[in-house]
Structure 1
Amino acid sequence: MRIVSVRAWPVSFPVPESERVSLGIGTAVKRDAVVVKVVTESGLVGWGESHHGRAHGAIAHLVNTTLRALILGMDAGDCVGVWARIYRFQLASHGMGAATAMAMSGIDMALWDIRAKAVGWPLCRLLGGAVKPVPAYAGGVALGYQDPAALVEEVRPHVEAGYRAVKLRVGDTPARDIARIEAVRRAFGDDLVILTDANTGYALADARMAMPAMERLGVAWLEEPFPAHDHRAYAEAKSFARIPLAAGENHYTRFEFHRLIEDRVLSILQPDLSKCGGVTETMRIAHLASAWKLPIHPHSAMTGINQAASIHLLAAIDNGGYFEADISRNNLFRDRMVSTPWSIRPDGTVLPLEAAGIGVEVDEAFLEAHPAIEGPGYV
């Protein structure tokens, strides 16, 4: 299964003003993605997603030039060998750091797609798991800042669809954040699991004000109140309340997750298969976390490729948590670029796709019709 072709597409579409969501990092004005295709000499095709890193043209260019040249001719089934080669020449010394981790993630995901297709198994089975239910929460680029009553009405159809957990965006102001959480708790009762994500929008003073109220309201976790590198702030915030702290979507490779675990501050780890080094590295992170009895709740990237792969991984580890179901409106990367990646079931779970590999089909005409839109994705 020699690798004969590697190609990455940077793709974009604008978000209409009526559908823009404001988060702790700004208001989303477009959506970007990087889709990776790997082909073997026998014609097997694998698909993966590299996180765009808010510089999707640069990530795709890194795949199409340096990383492509490093791995052409290698065995597509040698995921560990391909990972190690990229690590040696790009991550271990003088490399592009986070950009390389994101770029290689899409390649690695595509290689696992090929491996599973080669044996005719769904990816979860090749990873050591089975097709079984995975709990999901309603999340993605959605449920942002709005009037509490409007937020309740946004949450309602997702609860009616079967979701038993939702993730609300915080990082606005502590008072407004708590008012929204209180409204959702009143509307849906104590049985609804409420998660929160600040998208790095809090200062320590904000967290000190918000976290005791979140604990009172039964919030199950506070995600990324601070930037990934601000280890001191996370350590200090742990004392503010008993609400679990979550992070990991902006940490790369097992080497960074090792510190997160050793610090004993986070209760929830959230690696992204399209950012941290791919399926290969997420499995390593999951095994490392398992030794510490820490759960893995992967952060989902933008397309149905990552989302379907994340479900497979969750069905194959012993410390798997929630699948982050992107319920944002009109996500073309989920609804049109690929075949259906997942469906919510009445009991609030999703199932891995049963087709060989990751299980989604990709429309290459869509990729060609949606070239990169330059500029920031959030303003």
Structure 2
Amino acid sequence: MERLGVGWLEDPLPPEDLGGYAALCSALDLPIASGETECTRWQFHEKLRRRAADVILPDICRAGGISEGRKIAMVADLFNVPWCAHVSMGSSIHVAAALHLAASTPNFLICEYRGPERPNPLGDALLQAPIHYEAGQLQVPQGPGLGIEFDDDALAAHSMDAYTPVN
């Protein structure tokens, strides 16, 4: 796979199979990336302690937000392991939060991003301006908070007036 330019093998086993992940990491030169389903720094610590990932993939929307994401990144840094921001289908809000976290951690490697040719239709439509992407790089949004501003009209167009429970 390395000859084909594959950067890593992502989540090839069930997340609870730490022994299998450790064996793959030991046996292969191709990095093993894992962790998009992990939710706490303690789960990542155990994975890293057992050398069951060469790259971790925390999803900060699933793993406790920016504060917990930073703790996860620091745990990985203790093991000299880089992290990739797992945002895949995430909205621009998710991407903006991940970029701010990435800019504040020394072991950040790469951020998943669909690119301007495949924008997230809902997430990108809710912002006044999309996150700036050029030549394969995303810029950390500037300004207060996450550095993004919502388009109030777009939010209103996608909002529901009331919630009706289903019996």
Give me the TM-score of the superposition, normalised by structure 1.
Answer: 0.39
Aligned counterpart for 1:310 among listed residues 98, 102, 118: 98
Give distance in 2, aligned partners of 1:217 and 1:370: 51
Structure 1 residue ranges, 4+ long, deviating more than 6 angstroms after superposition? none
Aligned counterpart for 1:368 among listed residues 139, 159, 167: 159
* Corresponding position: 1:250 with 2:49: no
1:336 Cα offset (Å): 0.8
User: What is the aligned partner in structure 2 of residue 336 from structure 1?
Assistant: 125
User: What is the aligned partner in structure 2 of residue 241 from structure 1?
Assistant: 28
* Corresponding position: 1:358 with 2:146: yes
1:370 Cα offset (Å): 10
Closer/same/farther in 2, CA of residues 249 and 284 from structure 1, 3 Å limit: same
SS at 2:109's partner residue? Answer: coil
1:321 Cα offset (Å): 1.1
Structure 1 contact 302–333 (Cα < 8 Å) conserved: no
* Corresponding position: 1:216 with 2:3: yes
- 1:315 partner letter: A
More strand by share: 1
SS at 2:159's partner residue? Answer: helix
Closer/same/farther in 2, CA of residues 229 and 370 from structure 1, 3 Å limit: farther
Give distance in 2, aligned partners of 1:371 and 1:351: 36
Give distance in 1, aligned partners of 2:119 and 2:138: 20
Matches within 5 A, 1:287-306: 287-300=74-87, 302-306=90-94
Structure 1 contact 245–267 (Cα < 8 Å) conserved: yes
SS at 2:70's partner residue? Answer: helix
SS at 1:368's partner residue? Answer: coil
Give distance in 2, aligned partners of 1:313 and 1:361: 18
1:233 Cα offset (Å): 2.7
Aligned counterpart for 2:14 among listed residues 205, 208, 227: 227
1:227 Cα offset (Å): 2.2
Give distance in 1, aligned partners of 2:121 and 2:161: 10
SS at 1:281's partner residue? Answer: helix
Identity of aligned residues (%): 33
1:349 Cα offset (Å): 1.6
User: What is the aligned partner in structure 2 of residue 276 from structure 1?
Assistant: 63
1:312 Cα offset (Å): 1.0
* Corresponding position: 1:324 with 2:112: yes
1:326 Cα offset (Å): 2.1
Give distance in 1, aligned partners of 2:36 and 2:158: 25
More helix by share: 1
1:307 Cα offset (Å): 0.4
1:226 Cα offset (Å): 1.8
| Structure 1 unaligned spans of 5+ | 1-213, 373-379
Give distance in 1, aligned partners of 2:58 and 2:147: 21
1:290 Cα offset (Å): 1.1
Closer/same/farther in 2, CA of residues 317 and 330 from structure 1, 3 Å limit: closer
Q: Which string of whole-angstrom CA distances, capped at 9 and with x for unpartnered residues, describes residues 293-333 of structure 1?
A: 11111101521101011111111111111121123735222
| Structure 2 unaligned spans of 5+ | none
* Larger relative contact order (Cα-Cα within 8 Å, sequence gap ≥ 6): 1
